[in-house]
Amino acid sequence: MDKKWVVATMSTVLALSLAGCAADSNKEPAASNSKPADTKGDNGAASGGKTKILYWTPDRHDADFMKSKIDEFNKTNKDNIEVEMTVMGDNYPQAVDIAFASKQAPDVLQINDFQTYYKKGYMAPINDYMSSEMKETFKDSLLENKNTVDGKTYTLPNTGQIWRLIYNKDIFKQAGIENPPKTLDEMVAAAKKITETGKKDGIYGFASPFKSSSGFWRASNTVAGASNNTGIDGYNYKTGQFDFSMYKDIALALRQMNEDGSMLPGVESLDIDPLRAQFAQGKIGMYINHSAEPGVYKDQFPTTANWAAVAVPTTDGTIKGASQIIGGSYIGISADSTHKEAAWKFMEYVYSDSLQSEYYEKGYGISLIPTVISSGKKPSIPGIEGFLPKRYDAIYPANPLTITEGSLEGSKWSDAFSAFVFTGGDVDSIIKDLDTRYNVSLEKARASGATDIVADPSFDASKLQGKLSTEE
């Protein structure tokens, strides 16, 4: 990957912080490993009279593809617009907050936390920019609190992260395991057997990127959603309350794998890219992640490993609810942008059928755009077949998790469970404490008007199935 396009350290945040509020609202903050911004005049135009548009994204798996498409846009657009893309690191949420606070926000940014960005006033509505044809295309795809609020649209769907168990077929065969696990108990047993047979060669059964607690939620949320029919993110849609008991079984399974020594050494501080590098080298039997992986193993970490992706294991081997597709929101225009018309022209280009179809066909993401899905074309990239939508894959309605965590006292749920995985404790007491603290914060959020999401007694996650695919 071209490292000029990657900002992978906290130096971005520090640079933004030091830049102060006096900086031009369209001037890119200094950041290590990022492309220097062009000199601009007081009107915000780039050198040569072009209108400079800054675009921020945390996505690294598709950076080369998007860079090529942005280069194409810069060369061919008739409106004298020049787009500069910066790919951020894991500090993206903090960088966005600091950028808006210091009046240095990009013109176009990826919306990775719709409800929070809306409450903070980061996004500009795009209804007036959309053509009637575009409105027709997306009319049945927009979700309240993921794309729209009170009739105003801020972002459109493009692709969804479809989560699977990713496993090395050769490692399983060497360990004498015929099939990937369908239950959590089978996953624990498989990880132990792989480690016992492969440890001498540095091969371990399981890994998850536990750095910043992401390792727990990456491995758990899809498992929880598939194992029950009441919710995800610790939120029970039926009762309108948080109930973290949905994670008990996966927490116990991860804890057991740690005690068995079945996890890759150092997993507690592992990030996703180092994990991918180890998997590409044939050192990890299995892990749980999403549909970006085929692109990663094609471009970022080329591998000859014989790998595949299958449905995540569940508590009893059946899917009672739905396997969560993370998606629905993509990019939006900054409310602070002084070049919203130009920003929309770029946004419209990114959402074009030609770009999105190519993006899908090359395996960078599973499309949620009706015109792309209905084309009948499928990606041909190796490994993508395991990630194509099945009947049990579904997009869940918005829930109040991120808003609730804005005023939460104490540790977040993923941190608390991650600590349990590595240090042990009373999991029931951990769940009770989380339920209490999250529901107190939730009531405050509802009382203040921060969220209007309430209980839906008729909710049944199994009814979400089959909307994107009827394939079993």
Q: What is the pLDDT of residue 14?
A: 36
| 216 SS3 class | helix
Percent of all residues in the chain with a pLDDT value above 90, rounded to a whole number: 69
Q: Which run of H or E residues covers position 163?
A: none
For the sheet containing 307-310, what is the strand order?
A: 204-206, 284-289, 164-168, 307-310
Q: How far apart are CA 99 and CA 33, in angstroms?
A: 18
Q: What value does the mean pLDDT take over residues 397-413?
A: 92
Reported as a single tens digit per residue, the pLDDT across 245-287 is 999 999 999 999 999 999 999 999 999 999 999 999 999 999 9
Reported as a single tens digit per residue, the pLDDT across 56-86 is 999 887 899 999 999 999 999 999 999 999 9
Alpha-carbon separation of residue 36 from 29, 54, 95, 105, 267 (angstroms): 9, 12, 17, 16, 35
Reported as a single tens digit per residue, the pLDDT across 136-161 is 988 878 888 889 999 999 999 988 88
pLDDT reading at 3 higher than 50: no
Q: What is the pLDDT of residue 78?
A: 95
* CB contact set of 306 (below 8 Å; sequence gap of 6+): 168, 169, 170
Q: What is the pLDDT of residue 249?
A: 97
pLDDT reading at 20 higher than 50: no
Q: What is the pLDDT of residue 373?
A: 78
* Residue scoring higher pLDDT (292 or 166): 166
Q: How far apart are CA 259 and CA 253, in angstroms?
A: 10
How far, rounded to the nearest angstrom, does the alpha carbon of residue 43 sit from its chain's CA centroid?
Answer: 35
Domain range 11-157+327-378, CATH architecture: 3-Layer(aba) Sandwich (3.40)
Tokens of 5: 């396009």
Q: What is the pLDDT of residue 471?
A: 80
Q: What is the pLDDT of residue 466?
A: 87
Q: What is the pLDDT of residue 31?
A: 35
pLDDT reading at 38 higher than 50: no
Q: What is the pLDDT of residue 83?
A: 98
pLDDT category at 364 given cuts 50, 70, 90 is confident
Q: What is the pLDDT of residue 15?
A: 43
Q: What is the pLDDT of residue 468?
A: 74
Strands (E), 135-176: 148-149, 152-153, 159-162, 164-168
pLDDT reading at 371 higher than 90: no
pLDDT category at 173 given cuts 50, 70, 90 is very high
pLDDT reading at 16 higher than 80: no
Mean pLDDT of the chain: 88
Q: Can you give the pTM of this predicted structure?
A: 0.76
Strands (E), 207-266: 231-232, 235-236, 241-242
pLDDT category at 316 given cuts 50, 70, 90 is very high
| 164 SS3 class | strand
Tokens of 176: 């004498």
Q: What residue spans define the domains of the chain?
A: 11-157+327-378
pLDDT category at 196 given cuts 50, 70, 90 is very high
Reported as a single tens digit per residue, the pLDDT across 104-146 is 999 999 998 898 999 899 999 999 999 999 999 888 788 888 8
